[in-house]
Amino acid sequence: MRSLLAEGRILEAVRLLEEAGDLVPPDSKIRKVLSPPTIKLSDRRDVDRTPEFRWLDTHEVEYQGKWVALVEDELVASSDTLKELLVQIDQLQFARRPLIHHLI
């Protein structure tokens, strides 16, 4: 429900901006914020996260409500809060950056 209200407000803001016409400069920040999204392709790729997603599928019930950090198929840290999890993994070193996920 909340997202529908926000979407309605955004659409209303876009309509008002269109009505304002030349009163709002073309290079204004509000025009940029309310413009349609742009997509930029990148050649940069992340590592294959298949092992992490497999771990999440297997252990989601065990760690429900927890924040987890995974490297490949290994749980490297878990916590009730993201803040605590980040403190835990900040003290560790990994071959690659962990995948962080909240299991709801």
* The pair of three-digit structure tokens given for residue 58, joined into one six-digit string: 């297997």
* pLDDT on residue 66: 97
Using alpha carbons, select from 54, 93, 91, 102 the residue that is nearest to residue 74.
54
Task: Give the sign of the dihedral formed by CA 10, CA 13, CA 19, CA 25.
Answer: negative
* pLDDT on residue 4: 62
CA distances in angstroms from 61 to 6, 56, 66, listed in the order given? 32, 9, 10
Per-residue model confidence as pLDDT tens for the chain (104 residues) = 556 666 788 889 999 999 999 999 999 999 999 998 888 888 888 899 999 999 999 999 999 999 999 999 999 999 999 999 999 999 899 989 999 999 99
pTM for the predicted model, two decimal places: 0.60
DSSP letters, 37-84, are P-----S--PPP-HHHHHHHHHHTTTTTT-EEEEETTEEEEEESSHHH
| β-strand partners of 77 | 69
Where in the chain are the domains? 2-34, 50-102
* pLDDT on residue 37: 86
* pLDDT on residue 62: 96
